[in-house]
Structure 1
Amino acid sequence: MSELRCRSLSWNDFSGFLKRLKTLALSNNFLYGEIPNSFSLLTNLIHLDLSLNQLHGQLPVNIGKLTSLSYFLVANNNLIGKITPQITGYNIMNFKNYSIRNLVDLEILDLSYNKFNGEVPHCLGNTNFTDNQLEGAIPRSLCKCKNLKVLNLRNNKFKDVFPYWLGSLPYLEVLSLPFNKFHGDITNNLSKIATSPFSNLQILDLSNNNFCGKLPFMYIKQFRSMMDIDMSTIGSPRYLKNKFGNYMYSIKMIVKGKQLDHKKIITSKSTFDMSNNHFEGEIPNSIEMLRALRNLNLLHNLLTGNIPPSIGNLSLLDGLDLSSIRLIGEIPQELVSLKFLEVFIVSYNQLEGPIPRGNNFDTFSSYSYEGNLELCGAPLLEC
């Protein structure tokens, strides 16, 4: 059909011939207009993917009728409005409440990269609300979502303290909260945390918020999945899959100083990103417990003290950014043992003494060290 040109689809008679339809995937096209309410007649639908189109308007008011729905993906469109009244689907005409809470099989809800605003509804499933204008607090009803693996609230306007209660979710692997207005001391509610909180967490991104206080030592000790080294993932990364074995998750992250758009989440690339906050105190030695860590980013904080030599025990580390904080002393020679280290940045601190030599340290440019007036040795001036 190389000559076929289609500007739109007529979606008015789905009820007549598509009642048994289970999968409708129309992503990455040029579909425009509103999502029709007639979709609610596809009562056997399990997978609905309308992402990467030019759809606009609000979510269908009767979407809650699709009680068999497991995947509802409308990311990367121009949808607007508050999620709460639309996603709960209260139909004034017939006084029935088609709440998303009726979607008991919902596994993934992806509303990212639209123009939604308001507060987040009490919803289910692996949730991606990235790059909208959502605000308020994270609803505590999420702690009832015991199968939740991914919570991605990147780049919104959430204003809340750290949601410590998410630590009770046994399968949570990705917690991404960057570019919001989260605030306060993460350690304030340590007495309330669950037994072994966040034990399956592989990716923690709290960057670009207003968190303060010390780095959460007590949480670090519980990140068991970041402690187990799996050398088989060095050449063959492990991706986050759904129960059908499909890769249906995506995430944006700052890795090795660059923003990367991962179409598939690599859980074997364990990440601890606390950059661009107001954390203070010293970097805890307990960080060495996270032996599976690949990316450690503490850029732009109020941290003090020395670089812990124990970081040299993070044998899989390939990205380490400790720039623009208040570190003093020498760069530990133990870091030379990090043979996978590709990016090392300690610029704009108060470090001194000779730069270690050997392995990858022979490849780092002066950019890694600039702004430390007392550092010396290649690639800077001789000591």
Structure 2
Amino acid sequence: MIVINLIQNQLSGHLPSTMGCTLPNLERLTLSHNKLSGTIPNSIINASKLITLNLGYNYFSGLIPNTFGNLRFLNWLSPVQNYLMTKPLAANPLRGFLPSLVSNFSASLQEFNAYGCELKGSIPQEIGNLSGLIVLNLFNNDLIGTIPKTVGGLQQLQGLDLFGNNLQGSIPYDLCNLKRLYSLLLQGLVSLRELYLDSNKLSSSIPSSFWNLEYILQIDLSSNSLSGSLLPHIQKLKQQSLRKNSQVIGALSHLKQLKLSYNRLEGEIPIKGPFRNFSTQSCFGNYALCSPPILQVPPCKEDNGEGTEKAIVLVLKYILPRLYPSF
């Protein structure tokens, strides 16, 4: 037997412990959208010719067998979410660790779907050996540690979804090597310290959820085409650099340093609050700013009602350096 496809039935019970031993020539096993439970049998390794293994949307529990890493021809693996569970988004509670043996999977593995499986531990460095991966879905788990730099070697990768975990540290620069990537979902990285997305072609506004990164120390979004208002969120930040950036001005009560040089800002520079220490260097290179003579820019004309609400900036960059570890 080469193919078993029993998707969307009402199958229940456990998989036989000797299942793989009796199916040495099996290439495709699809059992998703059923009511199967219990553990995934280690004997599946004996079905060494497996190309597709889809066990998603069941009630499987226990550990992911380390032996999965020896299925060298596998190019589609999905142990994902349960089907018809009490909680709509409840998943196969595998509660396992991603083994380093994932590196033994075939280089032709294209999709790795293990979202919502209560996976623990860190993402192994060996994940970067799966050179044929197009989609890597590990979201809504309990993964910790950093995003391995080796992910940057997955040159075919188009979708990387890691949100809903406990990952921390900086986003590796190596992700910039993923030239085919069109979907990058990293929500839930609440412990993120550094974020560098400068010199890209990002546009539109910054989502409000971005400001939930309460432990962030450094953010660099410079040399993009971002726009929109940052208020009231920007008040949370202590040091900003907004060179070549988008619309921002207002009551920045926690601001320690603000740089607005070389933009297309216009309007009056406030002289109260955090702008009291504003210097000529802070606003140099703008074409339509005005202020009292102390800043060596043209004096303001009679108020036209628009006041300081006008601000046109092309690109956003702000940096919260390590000088503020308590932030």
TM-score by length of 1: 0.51
CA contact (8 A) 1:64 1:100 kept: yes
The RMSD of aligned alpha carbons is: 3.8
State whether residues 52 and 77 of structure 1, in contact with CA within 8 Å, keep that contact through their aligned partners in structure 2. Answer: yes
1:106 lines up with 2:106 in the alignment: no
**Kept after mapping to 1: 8 A contact 2:126/2:150:** no
Q: Tell me the distance in 2 between the aligned counterparts of 1:46 and 1:182.
A: 35
Q: How far off is 1:172 after superposition? A: 1.3
Q: Distance in 2 between matches of 1:165 and 1:211?
A: 21
Q: How many residues align?
A: 228
Residues 282 and 306 in structure 1, CA contact (< 8 A), matched pair in contact too: no
Alignment of 1:116-131 (within 5 A): 116-121=94-99, 122-123=101-102, 124=105, 125=109, 126-131=111-116
Decide which of 51, 58, 71 is 2:39's aligned counterpart. Answer: 58
Which residue identity lines up with residue 177 of structure 1 in the other structure?
L
Work out whether residues 282 and 305 of structure 1, in 8 Å CA contact, stay in contact via their aligned partners in 2: no
The equivalent of 1:215 in structure 2 is 195
Give the gaps of 5 or more residues in structure 2.
82-91, 227-231, 248-253, 259-263, 266-307, 313-327
Residues 172 and 276 of structure 1, relative CA distance in 2, 3 Å threshold: farther
Taking structure 1 as reference, are residues 308 and 65 closer, same or farther at Cα in structure 2, changes over 3 Å only? farther
Structure 1 contact 205–274 (Cα < 8 Å) conserved: no
What residue number does 1:167 align with?
152
Aligned to 1:344: none
State the partner residue of 2:128: 143
Are the counterparts in 2 of residues 162 and 186 from structure 1 also a CA contact under 8 Å?
Answer: yes
How do 1:84-99 and structure 2 match up within 5 A? 87-88=65-66, 99=67
Are residues 24 and 300 of structure 1, via their aligned partners in 2, closer, same or farther at CA, if it must alter by over 3 Å?
A: farther
Residues 132-162 of structure 1, C-alpha deviations (whole Å, 9 max, x = no match): 2211111112111111111111111111112
Alignment pair present for 1:353 and 2:319:
no
Alignment CA distance shift 1:286-1:43 (3 Å): farther
Q: Deviations over 1:329-365 (max 9, x none)?
A: xxx99xxxxxxxxxxxxxxxxxx73799xxxxxxxxx
Equivalences for residues 183-332 of structure 1 within 5 A: 183-186=168-171, 190=173, 193=174, 197-217=177-197, 221=200, 276-278=212-214, 279=216, 284-288=221-225
Q: Which letter maps to 1:104?
A: R
Query: Matches of 1:129 and 1:355 in 2, distance apart?
Result: 45
- Is contact 2:167-2:192 (8 Å) kept? no
Q: What is the alpha-carbon distance in structure 2 between the residues aligned to residue 300 and residue 179 of structure 1?
A: 22
User: CA separation of 1:281/1:30 partners in 2, compared to 1, >3 Å: closer, same or farther?
Assistant: same
Larger radius of gyration between Structure 1 and Structure 2: 2
Alpha-carbon offset, residue 62 of structure 1: 0.6
How much has 1:286 moved relative to structure 2?
3.1
TM-fit CA distance, 1:170: 1.3
Secondary structure in 2 matching 1:166: helix
SS at 1:134 equivalent:
coil
The 1:283/1:102 distance shift into structure 2, 3 A limit, reads closer
SS in 2 for 1:82: coil
Identity score, percent: 26
Shift in CA distance, 167/282, structure 1 to aligned 2, threshold 3 Å: closer
Is there any run of 5+ residues in structure 1 with no aligned partner, and where? Answer: 1-20, 89-98, 228-255, 258-272, 290-298, 312-325, 334-351, 357-383
Question: CA 1:34/1:300 → structure 2, altered by over 3 Å: closer, same or farther?
Answer: farther
Indicate the SS of the match to 1:118: coil
Instruction: Name the SS for the 1:157 alignment partner.
Output: coil
- The amino acid that maps onto 2:223 is S
8 Å CA contact retained: 1:35, 1:59? yes
More RCO (CA 8 Å, sep 6+): 2
Instruction: Report if the CA contact (8 A) 1:173-1:202 is conserved.
Output: yes
Q: Shift in Å at residue 306 of structure 1?
A: 6.0
1:155 to 110, 125, 140: 140
Whose strand fraction is larger, Structure 1's or Structure 2's?
1
Q: Deviations over 1:26-80 (max 9, x none)?
A: 1122110011235312222222111111110000121011121111011111111
Report the TM-score when normalising by structure 2.
Answer: 0.59
**Equivalent position of 2:298 in the other structure:** none
Q: Which residue in 1 is equivalent to 2:16?
A: 36
Counterparts of 1:212 and 1:102, CA distance in 2:
34
Q: 1:27 to 1:276 in 2, by over 3 A?
A: farther
